[in-house]
Amino acid sequence: MRASKITRKTTETNISVDLNIDGSGKSEKSNIKTPIGFLTHMLESFAKHGLFDIKMNIEGDLQVDQHHTIEDAGLVLGQAFKEALGDKLGINRAGYFAFPMDDALAVVAVDIANRPYLKFNADFTNRFCGELDTELVEDFFYAFSVGLQCNIAVNLPFGRNDHHKIEAIFKAFGKAMKMACSKDLRMIDEIPSIKGMI
């Protein structure tokens, strides 16, 4: 079982993650608590569509603003995936998915390449979706790319409703991560790189 437990406590945030990559995505296997309702909803969607079991508790200095909380949530979740993947033997390494949600379409690609990089092509109409500051969605994905050391490309070619746009991104991200983390039995004992390492 590829699993990890990560805790990060600073003067700004206190975040813990208990991750099982080879999970079921069932709601009874995950327990995600954040102080931002829409963020909780997005992380639950990510877990469901990635078939990951995630227990995550997030506390942050919302009296300042949401930035530290959302950025650190992405960082710690990325670190949990990095630890759980271990030597990365046999993984697909790259994954992608196009997820339509009503008026919106999100395309997300991931490469677990030991290099952090984010290309984020998505615009939102409103500053807030529920309680979530939409400006910080990009920061979540950047921090995740740093935590896991992976490339992430997010493209939202069209969409009208911010809720649908953001949810399509997180669902596509879950599916893309599931593909990237899955093992290919034909190369079960190999590192997926001609360099011999990631």
pLDDT tens series, the chain, 198 aa: 899 999 999 999 999 999 999 999 988 888 999 999 999 999 999 999 999 999 999 999 999 999 999 999 999 999 999 999 999 999 999 999 999 999 999 999 999 999 999 999 999 999 999 999 999 999 999 999 999 999 999 999 999 999 999 999 999 999 999 999 999 888 878 887 778 777
Give per-residue burial for 52-85: e unless 16+ CB within 10 Å, then b: bbbbbebbbeeeeebbbbbbbbbbbbbbbbbbbb
Cβ atoms of residues 111 and 194 within 8 Å: no
Domain 3-187, architecture per CATH: 2-Layer Sandwich (3.30)
Q: Would you state the structure tokens that stand for residue 39, as one six-digit string?
A: 């963020």
Number of H helices, E strands in the chain: 4, 10
> Could you give the CA distance from residue 159 to residue 184 in angstroms, rounded to a whole number?
34
Residue-range domain boundaries for the chain: 3-187
Cβ atoms of residues 124 and 134 within 8 Å: yes
> Could you give the CA distance from residue 161 to residue 145 in angstroms, rounded to a whole number?
26
pTM (predicted TM-score): 0.96
